Every structure is written in C-alpha cells, then in structure tokens.
Amino acid sequence: MSISENLDKIKKDIPPYVKLIAVTKTRTLNEIIEVYNSGHKTFGENRVQEMTEKHEQLPKDIEWHLIGHLQTNKVKYIAPFVSLIHSADSLKLLREIDKQAKKNNRVIPYLLEIYIASEETKFGLSFEEAEELLNSAELITLKNIKIKGIMGMASNTNDENLIRQEFSSLSRFFNLIRQKNKNYELEILSMGMSNDYKIAIEEGSTMVRIGSAVFR
C-alpha cells in the first residue's frame, strides 16, 4: 500500500475525536510531502535538530509536535514554531520553555510526559511527581506556557494485557488530575503508537502518534 493509503486506513480506524500525529522521524522530505499532499498537516518529530531542519524546508502551515526528550539548551530552536511539546518532564525545562516562548511573543502548549512502562529506559515523571508539578505555585506564574494534558508510552512488548494496564493507569490518572485541576484546560491524553494505538483508544486516548504504520 502507498503512504496515503496507509493514512486513510488509520484514519478509518480512529474515532473523529482522536487526533492523529504522523511521526516523521527518519523520513525523507519526499515521504513527508506525500502525506502533506494527501491533506494531513500535523507531524511529530522526536529530535530538535531534525524537526528544525524539516520545518525550514517544508510548507509553513504544518503543525510540528515535539514528541521526544527535550534538553533545556535546545528549547530556543523550536520555540518560534512548535505547536505542542509532548515531553515536558521538569520545572526547570518548563521555565526555559516559558522564557523562550516569551522571547517569541507566544504561548507554547505542552503535555507532561508520564512514565508508565515497566522498562527502565523511558523518560518521564511518576504520577506523584506530575501531581507535585501541577500543584507547584510557580507553575501558575509561567504565563507563556499552557498545560494541555499528559503523554505516555507503554512498554515495548507483545503482551497486550500489560500494554492495556499501562494505558488504563494513565487514563485513570488523567481523569483524576482533570477533576482536581479545573483551573487548567486538561484535554489531551497523548498515548498510542503504530503497534498499540487501538488499545490506547479503547483506554481513552485523545491523540495518537503514529510513524511506521503510516510510512511502511
């Protein structure tokens, strides 16, 4: 199947309230243009340099989402154009995003990345750390950033029960913090990739990040 046929098939699989982020990491400009020409304009990258280069070379009406780990010293490169940062995981990073957003005269939306996988290698906050951050008095003073929800990645495994448990725990946490933090507009639960997005949607995902299933 072609890239645009893959995309159509995925779009049929996901309900209208779930937003699809086409993950373009390692893909060529031609591959990305094929998706763009089919009408899809929301893309995700996990590295700052790759995202910045692609942003420079591709049409400017593309929405770029940063989905991978973000280092404080790289925030300045994406601050002028990033649409959503999925991977905020410390107050220090949020201070820098706020500072760079202010320089660019904008408000940058972000998600807190939460650690749900049973693997050791993933980035992110524990539920406790995320709640602490949400409750911190300083967060409210950072006027050039806006929290929109949370993101998580399940274990990289074939064990569907484990994946479902992990997504379900993130979904429960999402509902809990929405109840407790009505002052924030928490509306995005970013979970689900090529191999697990169907389970993620069943467990309440509102945004899926799909790469290989689009470009294979």
Ligand X SMILES: *Cc1c(COP(=O)(O)O)cnc(C)c1O
Per-residue contact string for residues 89-128; x = within reach of ligand X by CB under 6 A: ----------------------------------------
Which DSSP symbol is given to 125? Answer: B
Closest separation between CB of residue 69 and ligand X, Å? Answer: 9
149 is a contact residue toward ligand X (CB under 6 A): no
Q: What is the largest CA-CA distance in the chain?
A: 51
Which DSSP symbol is given to 79? Answer: T
Query: With CB under 6 A, what is the number of residues at the site for ligand X?
Result: 14
Closest separation between CB of residue 26 and ligand X, Å? Answer: 9
Can you read off the two tokens belonging to residue 64? Answer: 């770029």
State how far the Cα of 63 lies from the Cα of 42, in Å rounded to an integer: 5
Among 67, 112, 177, 200, binds ligand X (CB under 6 A): 67
State how far the Cα of 188 lies from the Cα of 19, in Å rounded to an integer: 9
46 is a contact residue toward ligand X (CB under 6 A): yes
193 is a contact residue toward ligand X (CB under 6 A): yes
- 6: helix, coil or strand? helix
84 is a contact residue toward ligand X (CB under 6 A): no
- Judged by CB under 6 A, which stretch of 127-135, 138-146, 164-172, 205-213 contacts ligand X? 205-213
Among 38, 83, 144, 194, binds ligand X (CB under 6 A): 194
Distance of CA 92 to the CA centre of its chain: 19
Closest separation between CB of residue 215 and ligand X, Å? Answer: 8
Can you read off the two tokens belonging to residue 209? Answer: 């990040």
Can you read off the two tokens belonging to residue 143? Answer: 């006027």
Contact 42, 21 (CB under 8 A): yes
Which residues contact ligand X (rule: CB under 6 A)?
23, 25, 46, 67-68, 153, 193-195, 209-213
